[in-house]
Structure 1
Amino acid sequence: MTFKNLPSQYINGEWREGISSLSMENRNPYCGELIATYKAASKEDLDKAYHAAAMAQLKWSQTNPVIQREVFEKAVQYIEENHAAIVEIIIEEIGGTRLKAEFEIGLVINLIKEASTFPFRMEGKILTSPIDHKENRVYRVPIGVVGVISPFNFPFFLSMKSVATALATGNGVVLKPHEHTSITGGTMIAKIFESAGLPKGLLNVITTEISEIGDLFIEHPIPRAISFTGSTKIGKHIGAVAGKNLKQVHLELGGNSALIVLEDADLELAVSAAVFSRFTHQGQICMSANRLIVHEAIYEEFVEKYVAKVATLTCGDPKNPNTIIGPLINEQQVKVTRALIEKGIREGANPIIKGNITGNIVEPVVFTEVTPDMKIAQEEVFAPVISILKVSNEKEVIEYANNSSYGLSGAIHTKDVERGAQLAKQLDTGMIHINDTTINDEPHVAFGGVKNSGIGRLNGEWSLDAFTTLKWISIQHQARQYPYS
């Protein structure tokens, strides 16, 4: 199977190009090779996609859960059978390494398996009433149609995270992938579900630019909820527009995660976790550790071991199975990264490792002598650049870690796990992991952040809540006496 030849739009079960006059290019971020060209979707295409989803959803919501579950089981089977082709397109379109591709596919499979249980978890309740002979029934029902906007970093997984769970709870979906990852984040997902037997019209994919559709994706009257994963700046705009239109929003936004190494930590484990937390997929993960907060008692030894480990990381062609750090997604991300590195140096941070920048490949940069107020410690850095901060006590740990407008993930390394757990409770972040990496996502555990890192939680029962609503139906079994008639 080759996914590169799929048309850019999948609307009402039909593959076609958009009707906009805008042409779009999809290029390999490592070598710049042209993967595909598309005609973008127009507002008319988007309107058709939403109407198709709404029509198909009415029947899907009444479909036997056994049949619904079979679709997700077949989707997993399709992914497993086309595993090699999916790995190749993740490498080619995203610039992900083979290690990253395997990791992402594993996340997707586990997610779909969890979603396959949702048709059997649409449970309701029968509640008592203060009124005699009255029965209260509360039903869990789909919200209707969900609009999903996905990012470029883990597009297969982060699209599927909302798409699969929204479908599994009986909804229709319109998916807009990032323009640089329209295959792995969009049309490949449509192909998977088409092959799995999902009814036509239930899932629609549009590939377009915001310049073509404006805010219509959010403002359109059909979708009841918008699920967005991406930057905080855009997330705030989406939240504002959705609020004006009384739509639910689920926003998974940026991060500036801190990995904390206390004086009693297992240093070898902490170093390995810290390297993985920063350099996986070139640091282009919202949960990546942007800051390492290290106790002064072990600071020098930690830095020495950390630098030695970072020096072994291979950079270059993501097709090479030995490559750990591949390209950033595009030139704009490289430009932003270069500016942050230069700003860090001007502010007094010490780049004890400062790799080269060649094309979209940014080699590791490790800063020491970083203070909490520096821009590199305050901003989300979506690249293989890390800041190391020194602290002398737990009070400083809490102060430094919480000195951020973000609050997505984090990690604490200590041999005293209860000490770590108590410290974790004082950190203003949605997720934190003891003696582990900052990068964790499990399909049955609540995922999400606080502050500028987003609104809402997904995975497991939290996804069930996100994409359903409750309907109260009461039954008066015997005639009720009213105060007047």
Structure 2
Amino acid sequence: MEYQLYINGKWKNTESGSVVTDINPADGSAYAQVHFAGPDEVEEAIAAADHAWKSWAETPAADKEAILLKAGDWMQEHIDEVAGVLMDESGSAFGKAYFEAGFAVDLFRAAAGECRRVFGEIQQQAPGEISMIRRLPFGVVAGIAPFNFPLLLALKKVVYALAAGNTFVLKPASATPVSGVMIAKALDAAGLPAGVFNLVPGSGEAVGNRLVEDPRIKMVAFTGSTAVGKGIAAKASVLFKKYSLEMGGKNPLILLRDFDLDQAVRIAGFGAFFHQGQICMCTSRLIVEEPVYDEFCEKFTAYAGTMKVGDPHAMDTVIGPLIKKEQCDIIDSQIADAVSKGAVLLTGGTHEGNYYQPTVLKDVTPDMRIFYEESFGPVTSIIKAKDPQDAVRLCNDNEYGLSSSLLTNDLSSAMALSLEMEAGMVHINNATVSDNSTVAFGGVKNSGVGREGGSYSIDEFTELKWITVQYTPAQLPF
């Protein structure tokens, strides 16, 4: 298959860019040929979005809502095609692919509902004056999406930005550009006006930098690594440009002695190994209170051994391929460092091609690289805590603060400890991997700036304007 750019409401070939082979990470075969944008196409996309934004901003909410609902219907009707793209292009296992495709349908519909809820405020501040706070779109928003949930994490940006009245230019991850094509297909089928959404796959150098630096782009919404996110923030700040960043995580799960161990094993296993650990929210640190440490290690190791590794299309596959073989080398290096410093490899630690076996280390300590560094693979570390306060200390000993879990039957302790945990999201008695269309998704510290989801996204994709109306003679000092 060959996939084109989508600019100003039309599918087109690249002229200043190139046609790139999209690789299936499961077997290294050529999955598709994709047109990557060059400077001419990036310019055309930005100009189209800039030209379209005022009319889109003035489009009635009911019309925006109808388009997003139609796009959601298209996504639902083509869910098998969309899930197939996710399996073949990103290595998503069968269950994850259909989960992500279904989430995409929900995002379209949730954003459609937000079109009617771009609320401002009326204040009574002075006699004879109406003081209005209006919430208005920025104009053109650029989105830069990652490879791991390429459809969901791109769409979170696109649909809420459109609902708020902005136009959009999307750069999907270079490794998963066809997922972006699915978004363009849905919006095109729904009758979105020309220029409101534009798709420009390409490299960070050719496309990403241009989007960040162009003055017509008023906001950049990014999901990806902390290193790249910091670079975007530095460039955008010089231009006084709004940005939202959803970045890395080294997410902890705290298990206290009173919680059911079998349930804890299942929660931790899902959080650690879903989408082969290639999730910013994955559970990469299991902080276990000392009295149940040894038993948990034994049970969790046995559970990890039941995870099927293999063909993403097989319905019972849990762990598919990593997006690239180089990630296996990074994980090997982290494991070697940990073992050399006293960690015990309980299971895994091997790979064949892009397939990494589910891997569990115990007795991991802060002097090991893997305690702090992201692995972005099916690898998790078990860490011993003396008591709940020590567990929170270990939890917070990290530059990241995205998602976290706390497993305990003591509600009072759970609420108190959750407030001490330095994370944008704390899930009591559930996995670190959790999301829905309307929550305030995002992190603190080096995990991000801003929030995504529902009305919180509307807040991110709009700016405030204060307008007053004086309906009686103004009272002036002179």
Structure 1-normalised TM-score? Answer: 0.96
| Match of residue 300 from structure 1 | 294
Report the Cα offset of residue 63 of structure 1: 1.3
Matched residue type, 2:367: D
Map 1:5-154 → 2, pairs under 5 A:
5-7=2-4, 9-130=5-126, 132-154=127-149
CA change 1:388–1:62 in 2 (3 A) is same
Q: Deviations over 1:395-439 (max 9, x none)?
A: 210111111000000101111122112111111111011110001
Of 378, 384, 395, the match for 1:384 = 378
| Match of residue 158 from structure 1 | 153
Q: Deviations over 1:99-121 (max 9, x none)?
A: 10122123222222221112111
**1:373 alignment partner, SS class:** coil
| Whole-angstrom CA distance in 2 between matches of 1:369 and 1:478 | 73
| Whole-angstrom CA distance in 1 between matches of 2:330 and 2:15 | 33
Report the Cα offset of residue 25 of structure 1: 1.9
| Whole-angstrom CA distance in 2 between matches of 1:297 and 1:305 | 14
| Whole-angstrom CA distance in 2 between matches of 1:183 and 1:404 | 35
Say if 2:93 and 2:317, in contact at 8 Å, map to a contact too. yes
**1:433 alignment partner, SS class:** strand
Q: Percent identity, please.
A: 39
**1:224 alignment partner, SS class:** strand
Say if 1:19 and 1:40, in contact at 8 Å, map to a contact too. no
Matched residue type, 1:402: N
Q: Which moved more, 1:326-335 or 1:149-158?
A: 326-335
Report the Cα offset of residue 44 of structure 1: 2.2
Q: Which moved more, 1:468-477 or 1:170-179?
A: 468-477
Matching of residue 202 in structure 1 with residue 202 in structure 2? no
| Whole-angstrom CA distance in 1 between matches of 2:320 and 2:155 | 23
Q: Deviations over 1:307-333 (max 9, x none)?
A: 111111110111111211000001222
| Whole-angstrom CA distance in 2 between matches of 1:472 and 1:58 | 20
Map 1:338-357 → 2, pairs under 5 A:
338-357=332-351
Map 1:438-457 → 2, pairs under 5 A:
438-457=432-451
| Whole-angstrom CA distance in 2 between matches of 1:62 and 1:212 | 32
Matched residue type, 1:223: I
| Whole-angstrom CA distance in 2 between matches of 1:482 and 1:431 | 49
| Whole-angstrom CA distance in 2 between matches of 1:213 and 1:165 | 22
**1:316 alignment partner, SS class:** coil
Q: Which moved more, 1:378-387 or 1:105-114?
A: 105-114
Of 316, 336, 342, the match for 1:322 = 316
| Whole-angstrom CA distance in 2 between matches of 1:406 and 1:307 | 26
| Whole-angstrom CA distance in 1 between matches of 2:221 and 2:444 | 16
Of 250, 267, 271, the match for 2:244 = 250
Matched residue type, 2:45: A
**2:175 alignment partner, SS class:** helix
Say if 1:232 and 1:253, in contact at 8 Å, map to a contact too. yes
Say if 1:95 and 1:318, in contact at 8 Å, map to a contact too. yes
Say if 1:143 and 1:467, in contact at 8 Å, map to a contact too. yes
Q: Which moved more, 1:248-257 or 1:411-420?
A: 411-420
Count, aligned residues: 478
Matched residue type, 1:55: H
CA RMSD of aligned residues (A): 1.5
| Whole-angstrom CA distance in 2 between matches of 1:463 and 1:252 | 12
**2:291 alignment partner, SS class:** coil
Say if 2:200 and 2:207, in contact at 8 Å, map to a contact too. no
CA change 1:366–1:461 in 2 (3 A) is same
Runs of 5+ consecutive residues of structure 2 not aligned to the other structure: none
Matched residue type, 1:13: G
Of 450, 458, 479, the match for 2:452 = 458
**2:43 alignment partner, SS class:** helix
Of 350, 361, 364, the match for 2:355 = 361
Map 1:194-343 → 2, pairs under 5 A:
194-213=188-207, 215-343=209-337
Report the Cα offset of residue 481 of structure 1: 6.1
| Whole-angstrom CA distance in 1 between matches of 2:458 and 2:450 | 12
Report the Cα offset of residue 213 of structure 1: 4.0
CA change 1:342–1:22 in 2 (3 A) is farther
| Whole-angstrom CA distance in 2 between matches of 1:138 and 1:170 | 17
Matched residue type, 1:220: D
Of 402, 406, 414, the match for 1:408 = 402
Q: Deviations over 1:34-70 (max 9, x none)?
A: 1122342112211211111122121111112111111
Matching of residue 472 in structure 1 with residue 469 in structure 2? no
Of 168, 172, 180, the match for 1:173 = 168
**2:405 alignment partner, SS class:** strand
Report the Cα offset of residue 342 of structure 1: 2.1
| Whole-angstrom CA distance in 1 between matches of 2:263 and 2:217 | 46
Of 418, 429, 434, the match for 1:424 = 418
Say if 1:20 and 1:39, in contact at 8 Å, map to a contact too. no
**1:351 alignment partner, SS class:** strand
Matched residue type, 1:75: A
Say if 1:258 and 1:293, in contact at 8 Å, map to a contact too. yes
| Whole-angstrom CA distance in 2 between matches of 1:213 and 1:176 | 7
| Whole-angstrom CA distance in 1 between matches of 2:393 and 2:125 | 50
Say if 1:226 and 1:250, in contact at 8 Å, map to a contact too. yes
Matched residue type, 1:445: V
Q: Which moved more, 1:147-156 or 1:301-310?
A: 301-310
Q: Deviations over 1:18-43 (max 9, x none)?
A: 22354422110011111122342112
Runs of 5+ consecutive residues of structure 1 not aligned to the other structure: none
Q: Deviations over 1:272-311 (max 9, x none)?
A: 0000000000000000011000111111111111111111
Q: Which moved more, 1:466-475 or 1:304-313?
A: 466-475
Runs of 4+ in 1 over 4 A off after TM superposition: 481-484
Report the Cα offset of residue 373 of structure 1: 2.7
**2:425 alignment partner, SS class:** coil
| Whole-angstrom CA distance in 1 between matches of 2:369 and 2:19 | 37
Report the Cα offset of residue 173 of structure 1: 0.3
| Whole-angstrom CA distance in 2 between matches of 1:12 and 1:22 | 19
Q: Deviations over 1:444-483 (max 9, x none)?
A: 2111101110111111221110001122222233444655
Report the Cα offset of residue 128 of structure 1: 2.1
Matched residue type, 1:108: A
